[in-house]
Amino acid sequence: MKTAIAYFGTEQFAAEILTALIESDKFEIKFVVTQPDRPVGRKQELQKSPVKLVTEKFGIKIEQPDSLKNWKLEIGNWKLNIVCQYGLIIPKNIIDAPTLGSINVHPSLLPKYRGASPIQSAIINGETKTGVSIMIMDEKMDHGDILAQQEIAIAPDDTFPILHNKLLEIAKPLIVNTAQKWVEQKIKPIEQNHNEATFCKMFTRENGRIDWKKSAREIYNLYRGLQPWPGIFTTADGKRIKLLKIVLAKKSAGAGEIIFKNQKLFVGCGEGAIEILELQNEGKNALSATAWINGNKNINKFE
């Protein structure tokens, strides 16, 4: 017999988790709650969330409130809320509405990296491992007792999209199996060590600004974590330049100093150097390093 659940989610990771729950054939999704369609791009055209696209594909009832603060939840006969990347505060009355409460899928090894950007933050901070946590929800952010965790290694060259997909591959079976065990009361929650909690934030374009006094590895980690958005950038002569593809290099130069050698573009860092393979001046097309060098030979340092 399928277990009736409600699902709260918005982003791509959440859409994949929802699909896994549907395809597991262990759950009946009574309804899905996702964020309202948002204006995107220069034309500000309304775009459906990834979770909404999945919901429509499978013909599931959907709700899109601007806020859950005063949202009237119709009490029904479902046992559990499952939440992943919903992005809005869920009040206690909704968390506690079903018989078994609410559980959350979070892509970090809680209590580390509570908050909105756990995958990006783990990469940027140079972590060598991360994972997925399934926890019971309470009123505090990513604070509840742990039901299950699974760890994976972060490879030195993993970017956000690569690690995102690696985490999905373990998260999908983990949530299906853990939710089923929770329904069957075959799992014992474990309290988090709240003294070890760390928190992460939403990123903006400005977070991608390069500080050339940092080491090459730190800059490379920033690049890996902020791919594909918002990306990393520097400036020269007051103009913004986005670095689209970089690798670590064995060179020596001052912080921000540009080295042209054999039609290659290197930049010195506080420690070590990077090689830029592809970059883009603001408002212009993306260029290979060789093409960029030919049009910018007067620039000898990034700011």
Please report which confidence band the pLDDT of residue 44 belongs to, taking 50, 70 and 90 as the band edges.
confident
**3-106+132-192 and 205-295 in the same fold:** no
pLDDT at 75: 66
* 91 class by beta-carbon count within 10 Å (0-12 exposed, 13-18 middle, 19+ buried): middle
- Checking DSSP bridges between strand 102-106 and strand 80-84, what pairing results, if any? parallel
Please report which confidence band the pLDDT of residue 43 belongs to, taking 50, 70 and 90 as the band edges.
confident
d(CA 166, CA 288): 29
pLDDT digits (tens, 9 = 90+) for 234-252: 999 889 999 999 999 988 8
Q: Which fold has domain 3-106+132-192?
A: Rossmann fold (3.40.50)
Residues 48-72, mean pLDDT to the nearest whole number: 95
pLDDT at 259: 92
Residues 7-11, mean pLDDT to the nearest whole number: 98
Is 108 marked within a binding site? Answer: yes
* All residues at 6 or more sequence positions from 161 whose CB lies less than 8 Å from its CB, including other chains: 227, 228
Is 109 marked within a binding site? Answer: yes
**Cβ atoms within 10 Å, residue 124:** 20
Is pLDDT of 80 > 70?
Answer: yes
CATH number of the domain at 205-295, out of 1.10.3470.10, 3.40.50.1100, 3.10.25.10, 3.50.40.10? 3.10.25.10
To the nearest whole percent, how much of the chain has pLDDT over 90? 88
Is 226 marked within a binding site? Answer: no
Instruction: Answer yes or no: are the C-beta atoms of 167 and 129 closer than 8 Å.
Output: no
Strand pairing partners for 267?
A: 258, 274
The mean of the pLDDT values for the chain is 95
pLDDT digits (tens, 9 = 90+) for 85-100: 999 999 999 999 999 9
Residues 92-115, mean pLDDT to the nearest whole number: 96
Residues 109-129, mean pLDDT to the nearest whole number: 98
Is pLDDT of 79 > 90?
Answer: yes
pLDDT at 73: 78
Is 215 marked within a binding site? Answer: no
Is pLDDT of 187 > 90?
Answer: yes
Residue boundaries of the structural domains of the chain: 3-106+132-192, 205-295
* 26 class by beta-carbon count within 10 Å (0-12 exposed, 13-18 middle, 19+ buried): middle
Residues 249-272, mean pLDDT to the nearest whole number: 92
Residues 9-35, mean pLDDT to the nearest whole number: 97
Say what the pTM is: 0.95
